[in-house]
């Protein structure tokens, strides 16, 4: 790959130091970032290049502690970095930046690792300084708005400066290896497609469980909550990848068109239905992984917040393929385990020939993290002479055992895709807005109800109402046993 320029607004922030620069280091070690590439960290304070490199060195040593593959390459990598002081609201620093980036033939990527309220003003500055030419790409992170209208306003502001093809909206879940593998699993195996529909699938579960709490993000998180933070983006993207029709190719728009159709097919959860189709929870003090942890309100230092740290809901994709198949989604902070998975449960056998012996339903479990892999649970005879007894057992594919080596982090793939100009794993404007259109009525109904989120103990699997949500339908949340 040719040398390129990457300019990180928010170059001293948590995202840059914890995710972006470690990811770039790995790509450098693998030879994808070549000499002559320039990485600029931009922020408001004054500091020298050397001080910035020192800060990045410390961050890499901390965050790559277990994954520092090539310590001898750290110094040459740091030499690609420079620091520039910039004022996003005023003129300071812009003229110099424009002069440094004058070579229009190089790919230049502006990474806006700053709050979405600044996207518009940064875009306008880039335009005013002639930094929006054809080889320019801009990367934005969530939250893209807090509802559909605010998302549209952000998209409009970006759209005034950049063509849609220049805008890369990150959903880092799409960069995860196991999420990319969903496409390979579904469309690289003729085996699954005939079964991947309402005739054969009883229901789908998507769980993204976290053990972490607020992580010093209180001011963002308390305004957001789990529905905006996780469901509007990551979980709906996962749902789209499970439910979408086969795209005709891997072309970015072929895939994004199919995902958009799924979002448009989601049955709205109207006002009256939120109380039985959604559950929101908030954690109280408890113990996670054997360690006592405070409750959400204590962490926040207030007792008035009604922000949800857990959501479970039952969605339906109203189309020919999925009519009548529930998609149960749940996500939360301070749960018992860090675990993300997608489970497809197949229908019962139409007639059992085994008398009283129970016949378990087949399940395909796609484990996104940790212990990445795929398990297909099938029914077998328990060996032995004593009659036909059955037990479900897994056909078990572990990524670590099968492929060995390290699993690249999502940002490694995503950053390089921006440089290559491949938007396949990024969200198009209409996807983001369609997702908000489905989320907005749920938020509005919660807002107008007097109910508070249901309490759950940190270290549990969420409020009992989430269990009731699925058990009412005669089903249970999947447990890996
Ligand atoms: C982020 C959310 O988008 O995803 C966080 O803002 C969440 O609240 C994180 O913790 C989870 O990502 P991962 O990769 O750790 O599953």
DSSP, residue by residue, 331-394: EESSBSS-EEEEEEEEPPPSS-SSTTS--PPPEEEEEEESS-EEEEEEEEEPSSSSS--EEEEE
Task: Identify the band that residue 92 occupies on the pLDDT scale cut at 50, 70 and 90.
Answer: confident
pLDDT tens for each residue of 187-234: 999 999 999 999 999 999 999 999 999 988 898 999 999 999 999 999
What integer pLDDT is reported at residue 480 of this predicted model?
75
Which among 234, 264, 351, 478 is annotated as catalytic?
234
Is 90 exceeded by the pLDDT of residue 63? no
Distance 337 CA to ligand 1 centre (A): 14
Same domain (yes/no): 194, 96: no
pLDDT tens for each residue of 441-470: 999 999 999 899 999 999 999 999 999 999
Q: Which region holds residue 38: left if phi is over 0, alpha if psi is between -120 and 50, else beta? A: beta
For range 397-405, the mean pLDDT: 89
What integer pLDDT is reported at residue 71 of this predicted model?
83
For range 78-104, the mean pLDDT: 92
**End-to-end CA gap in the chain:** 46
> Whole-angstrom Cα distance, residue 451 to residue 446?
8
Is 70 exceeded by the pLDDT of residue 67? no
For residue 454, what is the domain's CATH number? 3.30.360.10
Q: What average pLDDT is seen over the chain?
A: 94
For range 85-102, the mean pLDDT: 91
Is 70 exceeded by the pLDDT of residue 66? no
Distance 230 CA to ligand 1 centre (A): 7
ipTM above 0.90, yes or no: yes
What integer pLDDT is reported at residue 303 of this predicted model?
83
Asked if the structure places residue 421 within a domain, the reply is no
Comparing CA positions, the residue from 444, 446, 437 lying closest to residue 148 is 437
Is 90 exceeded by the pLDDT of residue 292? yes
For range 313-339, the mean pLDDT: 97
pLDDT tens for each residue of 331-348: 999 999 999 999 999 999
Tokens 């999925």 identify what position? Answer: 322
Whether residue 6 contacts residue 37, with contact meaning beta carbons closer than 8 Å, is answered with yes
Assess whether the C-beta atom of 417 lies below 6 angstroms from ligand 1. no
Same domain (yes/no): 180, 297: yes
For residue 122, what is the domain's CATH number? 3.40.50.720
Asked if the structure places residue 163 within a domain, the reply is no
> Whole-angstrom Cα distance, residue 71 to residue 60?
10
Same domain (yes/no): 192, 93: no
pLDDT tens for each residue of 355-392: 999 999 999 999 998 989 999 999 999 999 888 999 99
Q: How many CA atoms lie within 13 A of 98 on its CB side?
A: 14
List CB contacts of 247: < 8 A, sequence separation 6 or more: 187, 254, 255, 257, 258
- The answer on whether 396 is annotated among ligand-binding residues is no
Where in the sequence is the domain holding 356, given as residue range(s)?
174-405+428-472
Q: What is the DSSP letter of 52?
A: H
Asked if the structure places residue 153 within a domain, the reply is no
Same domain (yes/no): 136, 283: no
- The answer on whether 142 is annotated among ligand-binding residues is yes
pTM over 0.80: yes
Catalytic site residue 234?
yes
Tokens 């500091």 identify what position? Answer: 47
Count of CB atoms situated within 10 Å of the CB of 250: 11
Final residue in a domain of this structure, among 96, 126, 141: 141
Distance 406 CA to ligand 1 centre (A): 20
**Number of structural domains the chain divides into:** 2
- The answer on whether 222 is annotated among ligand-binding residues is no
């Amino acid at each position: 790959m040719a040398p390129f320029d990457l300019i990180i607004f928010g170059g001293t922030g948590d995202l840059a130091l914890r995710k972006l620069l470690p990811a770039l280091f790995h790509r450098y070690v693998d030879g994808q970032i070549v000499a002559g590439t320039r990485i600029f960290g931009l922020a408001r304070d004054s500091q020298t290049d050397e001080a910035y490199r020192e800060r990045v060195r410390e961050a890499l040593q901390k965050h790559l502690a277990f994954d520092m593959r090539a310590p001898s390459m750290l110094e040459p990598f740091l030499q690609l970095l420079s620091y520039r002081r910039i004022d996003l609201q005023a003129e300071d620093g812009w003229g110099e930046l424009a002069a440094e980036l004058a070579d229009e033939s190089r790919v230049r990527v502006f990474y806006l690792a700053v709050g979405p309220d600044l996207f518009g003003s940064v875009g306008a500055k880039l335009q005013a300084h002639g930094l929006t030419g054809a080889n320019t790409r801009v990367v934005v992170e969530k939250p893209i708005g807090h509802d559909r209208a605010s998302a549209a306003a952000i998209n409009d502001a970006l759209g005034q400066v950049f063509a849609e093809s220049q805008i890369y909206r990150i959903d880092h879940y799409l960069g995860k290896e196991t999420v990319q593998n969903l496409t390979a699993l579904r469309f690289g195996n003729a085996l699954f497609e005939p079964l991947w529909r309402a005739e054969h699938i009883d229901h789908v579960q998507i769980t993204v469980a976290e053990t972490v709490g607020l992580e010093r993000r209180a001011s963002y998180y308390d305004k957001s909550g789990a529905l905006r933070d996780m469901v509007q983006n990551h979980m709906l993207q996962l749902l789209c990848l499970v439910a979408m029709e086969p795209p005709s190719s891997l072309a970015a728009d072929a895939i994004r068109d199919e995902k958009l159709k799924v979002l448009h097919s989601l049955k709205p959860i109207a006002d009256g239905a939120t109380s039985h189709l959604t559950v929101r929870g908030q954690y109280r003090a408890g113990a996670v992984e054997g360690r006592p942890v405070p409750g959400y309100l204590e962490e926040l230092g207030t007792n008035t917040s009604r922000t949800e740290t857990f959501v479970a809901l039952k969605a339906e994709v109203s189309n020919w393929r999925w009519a009548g198949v529930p998609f149960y989604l749940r996500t939360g902070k301070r749960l018992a385990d860090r675990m993300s998975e997608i489970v497809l449960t197949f229908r019962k056998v139409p007639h059992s020939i085994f008398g009283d012996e129970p016949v378990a339903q087949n399940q395909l479990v796609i484990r996104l993290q940790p212990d990445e892999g795929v398990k297909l649970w099938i029914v077998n005879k328990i060996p032995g002479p004593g009659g036909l007894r059955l037990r479900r057992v897994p056909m078990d594919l572990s990524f670590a055992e099968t492929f060995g080596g390290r699993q690249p982090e999502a940002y490694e793939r995503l950053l390089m895709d921006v440089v290559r100009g491949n938007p396949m794993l990024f969200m198009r404007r209409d996807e983001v807005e369609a997702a908000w259109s489905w989320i907005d009525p749920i938020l509005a109904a919660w807002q107008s109800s007097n109910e508070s989120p249901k309490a759950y103990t940190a270290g549990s699997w969420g409020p009992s109402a989430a269990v009731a949500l699925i058990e009412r339908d005669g089903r249970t949340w999947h447990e890996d046993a």
